[in-house]
């Protein structure tokens, strides 16, 4: 049974959560000066135990970048090019000098990705499939970092908070969700959401609009909020 003090505390916490301000807007000065037209997505560093995380995240990043107006080098071709040159590990690829990458692909920029979280976790009365990724866009002509950010997405955002079945019901639902999300690789779907939040020019602090976008040269979401 909740008492008045408990209700007041919960209300205060809820109020604080609703008042959390977004992170400060990015400084896009270097990005605008570089004016990149093309991007290669490098194989991600995978800091999770999930083997499929790298390919899942890498392929899901193509759409938000292309839709933002940039030419994206086909990820399969990029990956095969590295393998053909003996670079089969992402950490080795990330060590390749930017000038060398520019000479090989002719791209303006490269996206360096780190996967910090991927997969389904079960915690007592809940389960979620979560993906957390960070990325940096580097100018291959100068080595300058033009943009960097991090994003997270979780299946818990889509789950109902209805606990009408009591504790036993919550445990059963959590177990079912974990099995379903593991079997169907829910991470692939969540990776798409995280990638869009991170990279889309329609997202807060995302990439600028590229030259193939009808909004090229226009402010992005975070710039409009300034």
pLDDT for residue 169 = 43
CB 190 within 8 A of CB 53: no
Q: Which structural domains are found in the chain, ordered by start?
A: 23-221 (3.40.50.10610)
Report how far residue 214's alpha carbon sits from residue 140's, in angstroms, rounded to the nearest whole number. Answer: 25
The DSSP element (H or E) to which 207 belongs, if any, is none
- Look up the pTM and report it: 0.79
Q: Which residue, among 99, 132, 103, 139, has the nearest Cα to 117 in the 3D structure?
A: 132
Q: Quick one: what percent of the chain has pLDDT higher than 90? A: 64
pLDDT in tens, 11-56: 443 444 445 567 899 999 999 999 999 999 999 999 999 999 999 9
Task: List, in sequence order, the alpha helices (H) in 85-215.
Answer: 90-93, 98-105, 166-183, 186-199
126-181 confidence digits (pLDDT tens) = 567 899 999 999 999 999 999 999 999 987 776 554 444 444 444 444 444 444 44
- Of the candidates 13, 167, 207, 36, the residue with the CA atom closest to the CA atom of residue 109: 36
- Using the predicted structure, report yes or no on whether residue 70 has a pLDDT greater than 60: yes
pLDDT for 182-204, tens place per residue?
434 678 899 999 999 999 999 99
Task: Check whether 10 has a pLDDT greater than 50.
Answer: no
Q: For residue 202, what are the contacts with CB-CB under 8 A and spacing of at least 6?
A: 68, 220, 221
pLDDT in tens, 84-97: 999 999 999 999 99
pLDDT, averaged across the chain: 82
Phi, psi at 143, each rounded to 5° = 85, 0
By the 10 Å C-beta count (0-12 exposed, 13-18 middle, 19+ buried), 196 is classed as buried
């Amino acid at each position: 049974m909740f008492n008045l003090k408990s209700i007041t505390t919960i209300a205060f916490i809820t109020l604080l959560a609703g008042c959390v301000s977004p992170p400060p807007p990015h400084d896009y000065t270097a990005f605008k000066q570089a004016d990149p037209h093309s991007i290669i997505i490098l194989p991600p560093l995978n800091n999770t135990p999930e083997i499929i995380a790298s390919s899942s995240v890498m392929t899901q990043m193509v759409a938000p970048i292309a839709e933002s107006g940039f030419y994206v080098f086909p990820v399969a071709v990029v990956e095969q090019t590295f393998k053909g040159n003996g670079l089969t590990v992402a950490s080795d690829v990330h060590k390749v000098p930017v000038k060398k990458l520019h000479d090989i692909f002719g791209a303006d920029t490269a996206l360096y990705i780190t996967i910090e979280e991927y997969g389904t976790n079960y915690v007592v009365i809940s389960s979620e499939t979560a993906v957390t990724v960070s990325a940096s866009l580097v100018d291959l002509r100068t080595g300058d970092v033009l943009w960097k950010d991090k994003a997270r997405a979780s299946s818990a955002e889509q789950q109902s908070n209805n606990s009408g079945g009591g504790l036993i019901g919550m445990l059963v639902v959590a177990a079912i969700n974990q099995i379903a999300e593991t079997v169907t690789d829910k991470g692939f779907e969540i990776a798409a959401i995280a990638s869009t939040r991170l990279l889309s020019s329609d997202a807060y602090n995302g990439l600028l609009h590229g030259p193939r976008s009808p909004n090229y040269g226009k402010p992005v979401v975070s710039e409009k909020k300034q």
